[in-house]
Amino acid sequence: MLQHLHIQNYALISRLDMNFEGGFSVLTGETGAGKSIILGALNLVMGGRADTKAITDGEDKCIIEAEFDECIVRRELYSNGKSRSFVDDSVVTLAELKTLAARLIDIHSQHANLLLENDDFQLSIVDAMAGNTAERETYTACYEAYLETQKALRDLQALARRTQADADYIAFRYKTLDDASLTEGEMAELEEEQFRLSHAEEIRGALDTAVNALNGEEGSVLDLLRICNLSTAAPELQERLDSAEIELRDIANEANRLAERTEFDPERLTQVEERLSLLNDLLRKYNATDEAELIQIRDDLQRQNDQIGSFDIDIARLQKELDAKTKDLTKAAIALHKTREAVRKPISKQLVDDLTRLGIAHAQIDIAITNTDDFTPLGKDDVQFMFAANLNQSLRRVSEVASGGEISRIMLCIKALIASKNGLPTIIFDEIDTGVSGEIASQMGNIMQQMAQSRQIIAITHLPQIAAKGDTQYLVYKADTDTRTETHIRRLTEEERVNQIATMLSGKHPTPAAMENARQLLACTIQ
């Protein structure tokens, strides 16, 4: 229940504090006095859209605080466009605030009647009365699984189509690289071999020269080393000379073997150059820097090739999975439909009964529930409230045939119906009595009185018949200061209520008859 409302620097309100009672409270006042401002402040603190224009001129921020039985909610709006939300002085996100607000209060604004044109709203009424939370949760889980599998299948089918179109090209590119028998590091080896083959004669000559210098017949290095004998004069140096002789002899033998193997082989040179040319062509063609990149490209193409062959299998698997998900979803949709169908007639009957009380003597209401072609997030049902106000009149959509006054009455009956199910602690009606007067207004007041027996009802009204039904009445009014006009609110005493209701009946200067009529209205009980 809403216990207290604090408003500071909001529109025409510098500071306002008001305590609310349980039961049925009414807010009255002249047009333009500021009733809608108070409602706007409530909308803001419960997570509504923030508009810096709402901040009182010359102020940096406004503060709205609402105290409920369960918690205290506060919203601060700053002139720079930023806002902060609090629950029991702890900062919360706007989404968290809205979620909490939905469990605390329902504000029926003047524009809420337009909801009757919304198919989802009509469906929500049926679901609220059906109490089918478990069935809706089951359906939602099945629906999400269905959509996920459906998307996976569509994506795979699209990929298969795109890939299949390029299948021949992919196969050709893969074969080109596969036939090349690529080996990482091969180009470096081939380039080294190419150098040796193309400079074979130079290399052979250099090796022969080295062999002759080391081990020739006349005056070779080894010959000179052999005739040196320093074992007596310098034994350590002789050891080094012996060691050098062994090493040089080994070098001479290796150089001789290399010289014998080094021959100009034009055929092999041609093979090497052709291989290098092929590898360089592949590098350019595939925009690669080395054999490793070419090998990676080849492997990727192989995977694509393999994938093309597995598309049919994977698509068949996903299709089978989707068929199973569709079966589960259909089952959940049928279960959800049954819950809605079970309350269709009881809802229609209750609404007709209530509308009859509200002066639509020949009201007819039927809730048409038809199957949609496709699954939707809310099931496979299309719900339409069908209405006729007169005998022998065909039923049509409420939004098409109902007058403003009839829509107001229908919405009140719907709110009363839903309230009996959802246990929401506070409901606020902003001029739900639009388009009605007299006895009908009185009956609407009776319905709100009845609703207030189990929850807090707050109604903004211009009709004395409804104002008189309230347990508590508040007057919203404007007062001028030296610098500005401000909105105020105060709770009326019983005598002040008589005067206010009389004013609502006959104008600013109520007659004795109007005063007596006001007393009679206040004395009336629910019929």
Indicate whether 504 belongs to any domain.
Answer: no
Residue 485 lies in a domain: yes
Q: Quick one: average pLDDT of 346-357?
A: 92
CA distance 203 to 387: 107
Is 278 among the domain residues?
yes
Give the per-residue pLDDT at 241. 63
Amino acid (1-letter code) at residue 249: R
- Least trusted range by pLDDT, from 137-141, 156-160, 331-335, 374-378: 156-160
Q: Which one of 289, 306, 321 terminates a domain?
A: 289
Assigned domain for 104 exists: yes
Please give the distance of CA 191 from its chain centroid, rounded to a whole number. 59
Q: Phi-psi region for residue 32, left (φ > 0), alpha (ψ -120 to 50) or beta?
A: left
Return d(Cα 395, Cα 389) in angstroms, integer. Answer: 9
What per-residue confidence (pLDDT) applies to 526?
A: 43
Q: Which CATH number belongs to the domain containing residue 453 in this structure?
A: 3.40.50.300
Query: Same structural domain for residues 3 and 104?
Result: yes
Asked if pLDDT for residue 419 goes beyond 70, the answer is: yes
Closest Cα partner for 5 from 47, 48, 56, 39? 39
Number of domains in the chain: 2
The Cα–Cα gap between 434 and 122 comes to: 21
- Show which of 289, 322, 343 is a domain's final residue: 289
| Domain interval for residue 254 | 185-289
| Mean pLDDT over each residue of the chain, to the nearest integer | 85
Which of residues 199 and 309 earns the better pLDDT score? 309
Residue 389 located in a structural domain: no
Range in 235-249, 283-297, 422-436, 471-485 with the lowest mean pLDDT: 235-249
Same domain, 5 and 96: yes
* Confidence band, pLDDT 50/70/90 cuts, at residue 312: confident
Helix (H, G, I), strand (E, B) or coil at 84: strand
* Residue 115 vs residue 470, higher pLDDT: 470
Q: According to the model, what pLDDT value does residue 527 have?
A: 43
User: Is 406 contained in some domain?
Assistant: no
The pLDDT of residue 16 is above 80: yes
CA distance 203 to 263: 9
Q: Confidence band (pLDDT; 50, 70, 90) for 127?
A: very high
> What is the pLDDT at residue 244?
67
- One domain for residues 2 and 100: yes
Span of 309-318, 402-411, 518-527 with lowest mean pLDDT: 518-527
In a domain, 272, yes or no: yes
Residue 230 within a domain: yes
| pTM for the structure as a whole | 0.66
